[in-house]
Amino acid sequence: MPQSLKPRVRRTPDDAKQTFLACAETLLVEDGLTAVQMRAVARLAHVTDAAIAHHFGNRDGLLKALMDHVVAKVRRAIRTITDRWTGAPDGFRKLIGDLDALYAQGYAELAQALTHSGWRDTGPPLLKPVIDVLIKQNAHPDTEANDIRRVMAALHMDLALYPLYGAAFRRSVGLRSKRERAKQLDWWAASIEQMLKAR
C-alpha cells in the first residue's frame, strides 16, 4: 500500500462521539461558543457534517451534549481537588482559582447559552463534594449547613458570571486594575475560612 494512503480507522460510536465532543471543546476554549458549529467540529475531526449530525442531530443537540460532557469533566475535577484538599486556606484558594480558570475558558458562555435554551443539569449539586467537606469542617457554632450552601451559591454565581460580566462589574464600583480578580478570589477564600472558624 502506498505510504500516502492510510487505512480508514473505524471508531466505535462512543469513541466517535467522544472525539467529536473533544473537538467541540477545543473550539469552545480557543474561539468561544460561536465557533462551536457542526461544520467546524466535522472539519477538526476530519469527518463529514453528516457524521456529526448522525450523533447529535443539530447544533442544539451538539451544545447540550457538550455541556453534559463539560459538567462531567468539572465534576471529576472538583472531586479530585476535594479529595486532595486538606482544608488549608491556600488549598481552598487553589480550588477557587481552578474553578475560576475553568469558567474563563468559555464554559461560562456555554452554561449561560444552554441555561437560556432550557438545559438543566439533573445530577447532584455540582459543588456537593466541596460543600460536604466544608460542612464537616465547620467549627463555628452559629454557621449552619444552609449558610455554607448560600455562600457557596454566591461564590459559584461569581465564578460563572465573571468571565462574561466581570470587567463591567469592576468598573461599576470604580475598580480598574486587572489584579482585582486575584484579590477578590483571595477575599472569597478568607471569608469562607472565617465563616467556619471556631470563636
The whole-number pLDDT of residue 13 equals 83
pLDDT in single tens digits along all 199 residues of the chain: 455 544 555 778 889 999 999 999 889 878 878 899 999 999 999 999 999 999 999 999 999 899 888 888 888 888 887 887 766 656 778 888 888 887 787 777 777 777 776 777 788 898 899 899 889 889 999 999 999 999 999 999 999 889 889 889 989 999 888 788 999 999 999 999 889 888 7
- How would DSSP label each residue in 57-123? SSHHHHHHHHHHHHHHHHHHHHHHHHHH--S-HHHHHHHHHHHHHHIIIIIHHHHHHHHHTT----S
pLDDT of residue 6: 47
